[in-house]
Homo-oligomer: A and B are copies of this chain.
């Protein structure tokens, strides 16, 4: 009889729960409101409800464990979650213990940072299948990441590894919210990339982008840039190409230092496909050191927004 794992993807507005087979198929999926504004104890309660709802009597005995992908830093104790962005009044909370108590059973239960869980999902079921070492990058609102070493999530000494968006690509660059200077996130994170595009397009009023946004600069965002580029617009293509190149520079530095030959990039903006992956790979081929050059590559993530559930479920699956 086949067995399942439950994967929970905790988001700012929705708790998603999936029943996942050992080979990484989501057989059933439900969702609940997170109620993030009511504080962490209520959120934990919502997660418990979601787990109970998806553990129907006919599934119950075949479930090998529950994994939870959460925003914020998961402490090295595997229990405490610190300061998930957009969760009101959540400073530090024992999420694992709180869910375990709510479940009232001894089912294996693991908590993981959501970017790390997505990296694990790609390692187990996605673009990183069969690859033991890679950098995973989520390129969307921010630039996040996870590091897979020897097939496992690398957490770092304090549980916070993988903050790829806060590596600097310019020591004289703009100051980032995090305190660092020239962080890659402050060039290509959604908000920053949009602002760069507006500046670039101000002197290029003939760009198709302006028509697409009906001359409203506030509506310029990566999706529109992609659309314009697909219509052959030169300026939009240049902006997205540069964004891909910048990410390529940051990835190359990491590859050189860590001796990696693979990065997998997912997240909303990565949906632009070749438009960004081509310049990214060109830059990587140029910028990595000679021994890595023939093998280094950047691949698109495969799992999209299923990565949270799949990675969470993967936490409690056998190797």
Contacts and interface: CB of A to CB of B under 8 A. Distances in A.
Contacts of A162: 257, 259
B288 A252 contact: no
B246 A161 contact: no
Given A73-B291, A249-B181, A292-B158, A164 B261 contact: no
A287 B181 contact: yes
Nearest to A242: B171
Contacts of A160: 259, 289, 291-292
Interface size class of A (residues with CB under 8 A): 35 or more
Interface stretch (A27-35, A42-50, A172-180, A302-310): A172-180
A256 interface: yes
A254 interface: yes
A133 to B, nearest CB: 5
B289 A179 contact: yes
A292 B178 CA distance: 11
A21 B73 CA distance: 42
Given A73-B291, A161-B259, A257-B254, A170 B171 contact: yes
Contacts of A289: 160, 163, 166, 178-180
Interface string A147-171: 1000000111111111110111111
B73 A156 contact: no
A290 interface: yes
Contacts of A136: none
Nearest to A295: B158
B292 A179 contact: no
A132 interface: yes
Contact of A171 (B73, B249, B288): B249
Nearest to A134: B157
Interface of A: 73, 82, 132-133, 145, 147, 154-164, 166-172, 178-182, 245-246, 249-250, 252-254, 256-261, 286-293
Which 10 pairs show the lowest CB-CB distances between chains A and B? A156-B259, A161-B259, A167-B253, A180-B287, A166-B256, A171-B249, A133-B157, A160-B259, A169-B171, A168-B253
Given A163-B289, A168-B249, 13 more contacts: A154-B258, A155-B259, A156-B260, A157-B261, A158-B292, A167-B256, A168-B169, A170-B171, A180-B252, A180-B253, A180-B286, A181-B249, A254-B257
